């Protein structure tokens, strides 16, 4: 612990979690996000199994990612995470990813802001904060990251294509649904290949509407707002929306600079 509210760890970017350019995949950054939240709770004596027995699971509602410089294979990272103040039934958490330098944080590489809610693990009903009776130190507001992951966005632009995605065994997690981190790969697979590889992701935001479970087929739609140069990917189940995601790619010049 860096202080009562910030949990830290280091991790190396594996080659198998990088793309053909040797850059970290979005899905792996989301795995770091998930690891940070889970390990911090475990460090506080609140592992998944204990909370489950108390009738609590934390489910991700929204996430925002800002990548300042994309890490590459074998980079050593320093990760810091802190809970923010609870807003209504929403538990906010921030994650900062740095280049590790002399046993501490160096250059800031990425920022992640997440919004979680508590739910009953069986009935999936949202629980009020009173259900969580454990102390959870939060970062002071003056030190907290901007809650950009909680910001709303509207899908705009021209529809560019659609495809289907079926949830399989390898996509599931302990909560029995499509794991949060898989959405990173799902979204990237829908984006135009050359655009994604040549420019890379600068910002990513996602809003989860309903869980996707084994065997369900999602209809994926891609939209491009040419004026804003922004991409959107939406996913629909047979009975309604599953998620909406927004992706902003780097300018070509910025992408070239990050490779040097």
pLDDT in tens, 14-73: 999 999 999 999 999 999 999 999 999 999 999 999 999 999 999 999 999 999 999 999
Kindly report the pTM of this predicted structure. 0.94
With beta carbons less than 8 A apart as the criterion, state whether 235 and 165 touch: yes
Distance CA 100, CA 152 (A): 33
With beta carbons less than 8 A apart as the criterion, state whether 157 and 232 touch: yes
Residues 173 and 226 in one domain: yes
Give the structural domain span for 185. 152-260
Mean pLDDT throughout 1-10? 96
Residues 8 and 81 in one domain: yes
Residues 135 and 180 in one domain: no
pLDDT in tens, 178-235: 999 999 999 999 999 999 999 999 999 999 999 999 999 999 999 999 999 999 999 9
Residues 19 and 59 in one domain: yes
With beta carbons less than 8 A apart as the criterion, state whether 167 and 222 touch: no
Residues 158 and 135 in one domain: no
Residues 95 and 109 in one domain: yes
Give the CA dihedral 236, 241, 243, 248, nearest 10 degrees: 80
Residues 64 and 138 in one domain: yes
Cα 251 versus chain centre, distance: 22
Residues 90 and 7 in one domain: yes
Which domain-ending residue is among 150, 178, 194? Answer: 150
Buried b (16+ CB within 10 A) or exposed e, 74-87: ebebbbbbbbbeee
> What is the number of structural domains in the chain?
2
């Amino acid at each position: 612990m860096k202080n009562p509210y910030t949990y830290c760890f280091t991790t190396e970017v594996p080659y198998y979690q990088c793309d053909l350019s040797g850059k970290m995949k979005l899905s792996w950054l989301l795995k770091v996000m998930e690891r940070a939240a889970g390990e911090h709770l475990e460090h506080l004596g609140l592992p998944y199994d204990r909370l489950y027995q108390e009738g609590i699971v934390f489910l991700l509602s929204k996430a925002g990612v800002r990548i300042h410089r994309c890490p590459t294979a074998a980079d050593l990272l320093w990760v810091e995470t802190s809970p923010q103040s609870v807003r209504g039934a929403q538990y906010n958490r921030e994650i900062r990813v740095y280049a590790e330098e002399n046993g501490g944080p160096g250059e800031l590489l990425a920022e992640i802001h997440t919004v979680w809610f508590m739910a009953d693990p069986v009935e999936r009903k949202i629980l009020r904060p009173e259900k969580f009776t454990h102390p959870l130190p939060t970062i002071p507001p003056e030190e907290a990251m901007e809650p950009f992951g909680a910001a709303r966005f509207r899908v705009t632009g021209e529809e560019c294509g659609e495809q289907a995605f079926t949830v399989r065994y390898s996509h599931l997690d302990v909560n029995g649904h499509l794991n949060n981190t898989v959405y990173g790969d799902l979204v990237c697979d829908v984006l135009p290949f050359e655009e994604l590889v040549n420019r890379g992701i600068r910002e990513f935001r996602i809003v989860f509407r309903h869980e996707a479970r084994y065997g369900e087929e999602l209809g994926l739609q891609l939209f491009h707002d040419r004026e804003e140069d922004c991409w959107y990917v939406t996913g629909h189940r047979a009975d309604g929306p599953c998620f909406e995601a927004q992706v902003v790619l780097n300018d070509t010049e910025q992408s070239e600079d990050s490779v040097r």
